[in-house]
Amino acid sequence: MADSVNNDIQNIAMDSTSSQDNINSNKDNISQTTMDNNGLKKDYNLDLEPVREPAYMFQSDTGTLSAYHVCRTICNKVGDKYIKGLQGVRNVWRIYFHSSEARIDLITRGIDVDGRIIKVYATNPFMPGGVASDRDRKGPKNGAPSSPRREPVQLVKVWIRDLYDSVADSQITHMLVNVYKIKLSSGIMVGYFRDDNGKLTDEINGDRFVYVHPDELVKPLPRHAQCGKYRCRITYKGQLDEEVNACFICFGTDHQGKNCNNPPCCRVCKQPGHSPGAPSCPHYLKNTNLKLVGGEQDPLSNHYKADFVHNHVKAKTAENHFFYHKCRINCQPELGKMCHDAKDWRSAKYMSKGIRCDKDWDKSDICRQTMKGIMKSKIEQVTPARRDLYDAWINGYTIVEAVPNPRDSWWGSSLDKPATEHTDPKYWPGQNFFGQLYMEIADELFNKAAVVDKGVLGLIDNVCEGQTSVSVSAA
């Protein structure tokens, strides 16, 4: 009898516990599907992949609330498990989510903070085209205390690329501040790689950047610049392409030469009253160690007519052959054949305007390898060119392509021969990539022959033609 009563009591207790669990479960289910005072539901789907896009709020809209209290307010409205965190950056709150549904709902409905509905934005309101510039600045409604708000200024991120990591930040600062007269809004910072999800890693990519007020860039920075002993690239959003937009009469960037009413300016110093290479130019310098290259009669010029073979294909000029390979590399073989068969280099260059490739392709590694291979084949097979290169190498001359092409800031000096000879090389408009390749080829070929005397040109010819090898003792 007693055992029966005890069993009944236990069964009643178990039923009571089960009923209480059901009630609690129902409460949890109800709480997960109820709507809060601002209409935000709490049963969003969690994304399998990280939600990369944050939502944004003005920090001034939350008054004196700390970041923690702002984050807790959002979590209480949306649900803790849907909010990843909050970050305050440059007068904007960035809200990070685990659920894209929660993000969209919060952007659509806004958030209630101290009795005020705070607007939530899908994009950064301080970015160009954002709402910050058009936003009503009369302060919050409903009598809530307003807080001071700074006028938004979108700083420009200026990248400095292609510099060795050993180049000090002070050299970059000197270039921007002293040479280009730019007032910096931040220190020099380093760039990092991003992973497949777009997040920054701990590995630097070698580039550096600095923030600049847009008013400092009314006069655009050049895309290619000299930083100490090294060349670098400067890039930023909205940067004008000097090669397209610059006037080649006064070198202004707000018009083209056909519409220019200003007096002609020197291409080196950009000042009127003289031409490049004139003694009155502040960058005048008489160079005595240059080997100037240019013209169809110059054996080292790519315009020089000489038959040679490169990659089993016969070439008329190095220029024709370069455009032929450029077309083939960029998947335009038919145009490449037209460039190869063109009667002269001018016709090939005209046809090359139809090549579809990146505008900076000439500055790529594949272009460097292509041009160097063509030039080396020419030197090995064309005796006049080989002898001219050896003469420059043995006398310690710097080889420069001196062709006055204002649209070419890469291959040569971009000045004619007299101007090149009488201008400080640091201020040549072009980078003389052509001359650098020739000096590399000379070092490879003539050091291989171990030549130390001008009287061994015949032996140099044999080495270049692969007939024999030469040592110092043989010379």
Q: Residue 222 corresponds to which amino acid?
A: P
Cα angle vertex 436, ends 319, 235, to 5°? 90
Please indicate, yes or no, if residue 322 is contained in any of the structural domains: yes
pLDDT at 17: 45
Distance CA 255, CA 175 (A): 27
- Read off the DSSP letter of residue 253: S
pLDDT at 129 over 60: no
235 lies in the same domain as 166: yes
* Residue 280 in this model has a pLDDT that exceeds 80: yes
What confidence category does residue 140 fall into, taking pLDDT thresholds of 50, 70 and 90? Answer: very low
What tens digit of pLDDT does each residue of 1-24 get?
445 444 444 444 444 444 445 444
pLDDT in tens, 293-311: 988 899 999 899 988 998 8
Q: Taking 70 as the threshold, does the pLDDT of residue 246 lie above it?
A: no
Question: Residue 451: which pLDDT band, with cuts at 50, 70 and 90?
Answer: very low
The token pair that represents 104 in the structure block: 């969209």
**Taking the mean position of all CA atoms in its chain, how far away is CA 460?**
43
Question: What percent of the chain has pLDDT above 70?
Answer: 76
Q: By the 8 A CB rule, do 272 and 263 touch?
A: yes
Q: CA angle at residue 106 from 103 to 107, to 5 degrees? A: 85
Q: Which residue has the higher pLDDT, 262 or 36?
A: 262
CA distance 289 to 241: 33
Q: Are residues 59 and 128 in the same domain?
A: yes
Long-range pairs, 339-343, Cβ under 8 A, ≥24: 340/313, 340/315, 340/316, 342/316
Where does a domain end: 214, 239, 264? Answer: 239
pLDDT of amino acid 25? 45
Asked if the model's pLDDT at residue 448 lies above 70, the reply is no
Give the model's pLDDT for residue 139: 42
Does pLDDT of 108 surpass 90? no
The stretch 322-347 carries a mean pLDDT of 86
Residues 95 and 40 sit within 8 Å (Cβ to Cβ): no
Do the bridges between strand 116-118 and strand 313-315 make them parallel or antiparallel, or are there none, so unpaired?
A: unpaired
Digit-coded pLDDT (tens) for 369-379:
899 999 999 99
Is the pLDDT score of 240 beyond 80?
no
What is the C-alpha to C-alpha distance for residues 242 and 253, in angstroms, rounded to an integer? 7
Crossing angle of helices 383-394 and 365-381, rounded to 10°:
110
CB atoms within 10 A of CB 137: 10
pLDDT of residue 76: 82
Give the CA count within 13 Å in the CB-facing half-sphere of 133: 7
Position 34 in a domain: no
Tokens 């001008």 appear where?
454
Average pLDDT, the chain: 77
CA proximity to 205, closest of 172, 236, 163, 238: 163
Is 11 inside any structural domain? no
Tokens of 147: 């807080």
Is residue 383 scored above 80 in pLDDT? yes
**Both structure tokens of 254:** 């707000």
Contact 147, 60 (CB under 8 A): yes
Higher local confidence (pLDDT), 179 or 42: 179
Cβ contacts of 304 within 8 Å, gap of 6 or more: 296, 297, 298, 317, 318, 382, 385
pLDDT confidence band for 363 (50 / 70 / 90): confident
**Residues 218 and 164 reside in one and the same domain:** yes
In this structure, are 125 and 173 located in the same domain? no
Measured distance CA(428)–CA(420) in Å, rounded: 7
Residue 265: strand pairing partners: 272
Domain boundary among 222, 239, 256: 239
Whether residues 107 and 172 fall in one domain: no
68 or 471, which is more confident?
68
202: exposed, middle or buried (C-beta count within 10 Å: 0-12, 13-18, 19+)?
Answer: exposed
β-bridge mates for residue 35, sequence order:
41
Mean pLDDT on 52-77: 84
Residues 122 and 59 occupy one common structural domain? yes
Instruction: Say if 384 falls within a structural domain.
Output: no
pLDDT at 426 (0 to 100): 85
DSSP letter at 88?
E
For residue 423, tell me if it sits in a domain: no
Please give the pLDDT value at position 35.
45
Q: Which domain holds residue 215?
A: 156-239
pLDDT of residue 158: 93
**Domain end call among 337, 367, 397:** 367
Same domain for 98 and 164: no
Q: Which long-range contacts (CB under 8 A, 24 or more apart) does 354-363 make?
A: 355/323, 355/326, 355/327, 355/330, 356/330, 356/332, 357/326, 357/330, 361/326, 361/330, 362/410, 362/411, 363/410
Q: Give the whole-angstrom CA distance, residue 396 versus residue 23.
A: 94
CA atoms within 13 A on the CB side of 356: 4
How far apart (Å, rounded) are the C-alpha atoms in residues 389 and 381?
13
Give how many domains the chain has, as a whole number.
3
Give bridge partners of residue 442 from the DSSP assignment.
none
Domain assignment present for 215: yes
Residues near 150 by Cβ (< 8 Å), separated by ≥ 6?
91
Query: Is position 347 within any domain?
Result: yes
Give the pLDDT band of residue 462 (cuts 50, 70, 90).
Answer: low
Q: What mean pLDDT do residues 390-418 have? A: 86
Q: Where are the extended beta strands (E) located within 172-280?
A: 189-194, 200-212, 224-227, 230-235
pLDDT per residue as tens digits for the range 165-178? 889 999 999 888 87
Cα(140)–Cα(2) distance, integer angstroms: 73
pLDDT value for 449: 52
Same domain, 177 and 114: no
- Inter-helix orientation angle 383-394/433-449, to 10°: 90
- Cα gap 381→457, rounded to integer Å: 14
| Backbone torsion region of residue 295, taken as left when φ is above 0, otherwise alpha when ψ lies between -120 and 50, otherwise beta | left
pLDDT band at 130 (very low <50, low <70, confident <90, very high): low
Could you tell me the pTM of the whole model? 0.47
Residue 298 lies in a domain: no
